Amino acid sequence: MQNSDDKLKKVIAHSKEYGFVFPSSEIYDGLSAAYDYGQYGAELKNNIKNYWWTAMTRMHQNIVGIDASIFMHPTTWKASGHVDAFNDPLIDNKDSKKRYRADVLLEDYIKKIEQKIDKEIEKAKNKFGESFNEEQFRATNPNVLRNQEKINAVEGKMKAALESSDLEGLKTLIEECEIADPETGSRNWTEVRQFNLMFKTELGAVSGDAGIIYLRPETAQGIFVNFLNVQKSGRMKLPFGIAQIGKAFRNEIIARQFIFRMREFEQMEMQFFVKPGTEMEWYNYWKDTRIKWHKALGMGEENYKFHDHLKLAHYANAACDIEFNFPMGFKELEGIHSRTDFDLGAHEKHSGKKLRYFDPETNESYVPYVIETSIGLDRMFLATLSAAYEEEKLEDGSERVVLRIHPALAPVKLAVLPLVKKDGLPEKAQEIVDSLKLDFNLQYDDKDAVGRRYRRQDAIGTPYCITIDYDTIQDNTVTIRDRDTMQQERVSIDKLHSILSEKVSMTKLLRG
Ligand code: ATP
């Protein structure tokens, strides 16, 4: 299916109709950028977490998992740089009262000029046909040259203003470019202000600055502050890693695109501590390991891209994103960052406590370097759902919506369906339910024609349907219907458990 807003809209509507994701507090008209996971969404989310957690911890004997608290000592965020630098430049339109990110307004302005250039090139391509030389055209056409110069000038000024936190410079640039509110056309702008993305609240009964604490904007710092606790109590030797899954909060100025950008979301992060000088080797190891984890799910090799960061954060010496082809195009799904000794070093400085590793091989103490892998659970959920969603035309001319989620991740593994609601078939079906329900998340369904029951299961991604018919009573066999091929196979009830265990096995997925 093509990438489009249309596809995203369909995924959103399907998520709601079938109990995957609901807008938060919907009876009060919802809360922007907050979502609730429904009965199937919660199962799918748990399965994704389990896939990640097992791949990180059990498959790596030198990685352990923790669960740190969301509230942390406020100095944590001073040390990490979030208090001073976790900002976006914000601007309001005085007439429309709409709020925008100043850098995004400028980027959109640049994109518009780029589109003009593209149009000019398209026109020339049509005119000159095969003999068209784009490179030459770009280098000589006066309209293209003029527009490219404009882009270069705006980009140059924007970069300079952002790097020096020159907020007045950003405002002047918006005015120079005559950028108007995209919704109303008004150019009546406020000053640009820095907007810190951290949510603040107050601790206990203490009010004022002394009592301010933050909702963590990333889970990573909970790992860094526990580096020594884990290393000592677990007698960990370098290289080793600490993994964590948990909520993070960012007061995103513009949160759109469903669960792609939320204000409350979940991260799955792992910090891998290594000897300084070996970090590039581990950076490459983790790039390779993480992309294999993604590709094992069969969501299309062509749907992943590495994107190296052009501008590195001040603490990083290498960084890239794994981008996924979401319905909105290729966008960041996971980040892999070589963070040097920045975080542990900063916590040493601010806490006055030594956060060092004593290397028994060299008899030296040093601050380890860190490779981080950081993936948004909700983005992984959206990737899984949008890659799985398919509207399929069947041979008999009918249509079905099917979620082709990997069986190991599917929220419901099987449905048990008696063909009719009489003659002992429901009782037989119930026996099967009882024998399998503790090992597999399953559903019993005896309503409507069996074809309609199959469609309902297809729509929530159930990989297998077990049908109990009159032959079952005679010979103790049932049919297993495969969601993707719609083929049916007759098997003995005694073998059901082992057949299904193999088919929906997480272990098999992990072993590759
Ligand atoms: P972006 O550039 O999209 O804002 P980021 O570079 O700020 O993302 P990181 O700080 O590297 O993101 O966070 C690690 C991961 O957390 C991201 O790869 C993404 O999957 C997830 N993530 C970050 N912000 C959000 C959000 N607002 N909603 C959902 N997931 C998020």
pLDDT tens, 103-160?
Answer: 889 988 998 999 999 999 999 999 988 889 999 999 999 999 999 999 999 989 998 8
Closest C-alpha residue for ligand 1 atom 23 = 376
Mean pLDDT of the chain: 94
Quote the tokens at residue 433.
């339910």
Domain 401-511 is found in CATH 3.40.50.800: yes
Give residue 88's pLDDT: 86
| 8 A C-beta contact, residue 272 and residue 262 | no
The secondary structure of 106-140 as a DSSP string is HHHHHHHHHHHHHHHHHHHHHHHGGG--HHHHHHH
Judged by DSSP in three states, 4 sits in: coil
Lowest mean pLDDT among 198-207, 420-429, 436-445, 446-455: 198-207
Helical H runs in 318-421?
342-351, 377-388
Judged by DSSP in three states, 90 sits in: strand
User: Is residue 252 in contact with ligand 1, taking CB distance under 6 Å?
Assistant: yes
User: Is residue 379 in contact with ligand 1, taking CB distance under 6 Å?
Assistant: yes
Quote the tokens at residue 240.
């080793």
Closest CA to 241 of 105, 93, 136, 369: 369
Band the pLDDT of 495: cuts 50, 70, 90. very high
Task: Give the residue-averaged pLDDT of 248-275.
Answer: 93
Q: How far apart are CA 42 and CA 315, in angstroms?
A: 36
Quote the tokens at residue 170.
């950003």
Closest C-alpha residue for ligand 1 atom 8 = 332
Distance in Å, CA 472 to ligand 1 centroid: 51
Residue 441 confidence (pLDDT) above 80 = yes
Pocket test of ligand 1: the residue of 332, 337, 370, 373 to mutate, having most ligand atoms within 8 Å of its CB, is 332
Model confidence pLDDT, tens digit, residues 4-16 = 679 999 999 999 9
Q: How far apart are CA 475 and CA 171, in angstroms?
A: 79
Give residue 310's pLDDT: 63
Residue 404 confidence (pLDDT) above 80 = yes
- Considering all CA atoms of the chain, what is the largest pairwise distance in Å, rounded to the nearest integer? 84
| CATH class of this structure's domain 1-72+197-389 | alpha beta
Pocket test of ligand 1: the residue of 104, 253, 324, 374 to mutate, having most ligand atoms within 8 Å of its CB, is 374
Q: How far apart are CA 318 and CA 309, in angstroms?
A: 8
Q: Where are the domains of the chain?
A: 1-72+197-389, 87-196, 401-511
Closest C-alpha residue for ligand 1 atom 16 = 376
Closest CA to 65 of 249, 239, 240, 238: 240
Q: How far apart are CA 319 and CA 310, in angstroms?
A: 9
Closest CA to 198 of 102, 78, 106, 107: 78
Give residue 315's pLDDT: 78
Task: Give the residue-averaged pLDDT of 224-237.
Answer: 97
Residue 462's CB: how many other CB atoms inside 10 A? 27
Residue 199 confidence (pLDDT) above 90 = yes
Q: How far apart are CA 88 and CA 329, in angstroms?
A: 23
Distance in Å, CA 238 to ligand 1 centroid: 28
Task: Give the residue-averaged pLDDT of 368-372.
Answer: 98
Phi and psi of 267, rounded to 5°?
-115, 150
CA atoms within 13 Å, Cβ hemisphere of 151:
16
Phi and psi of 443, rounded to 5°?
-130, 145
Helix/strand/coil (H/E/C) assignment for every residue in 322-336:
EEEEECCEEEEEEEE
Residue with tokens 């914000």: 90
User: Is residue 262 in contact with ligand 1, taking CB distance under 6 Å?
Assistant: yes
Closest CA to 247 of 271, 214, 224, 279: 214
Residue 396 confidence (pLDDT) above 50 = yes
Quote the tokens at residue 325.
């082809």
Helix/strand/coil (H/E/C) assignment for every residue in 243-303:
EEEEEEECCCCCCCCHHHCCCEEEEEEEEEEECCCCHHHHHHHHHHHHHHHHHCCCCCHHH
Residue with tokens 């919802």: 30
Q: How far apart are CA 482 and CA 478, in angstroms?
A: 13
Domain 87-196 is found in CATH 1.10.238.10: no
Band the pLDDT of 1: cuts 50, 70, 90. very low
Model confidence pLDDT, tens digit, residues 268-325 = 999 999 999 999 999 999 999 999 999 999 999 999 999 887 667 777 889 999 999 9
Residue 2 confidence (pLDDT) above 70 = no
Distance in Å, CA 376 to ligand 1 centroid: 6
Q: How far apart are CA 71 and CA 456, in angstroms?
A: 42
User: Is residue 335 in contact with ligand 1, taking CB distance under 6 Å?
Assistant: yes
- CA 187 to each of CA 26, 98, 172, 194: distance values in angstroms, whole numbers, following the listed order: 34, 12, 12, 20
Q: What is the pTM of this model?
A: 0.87
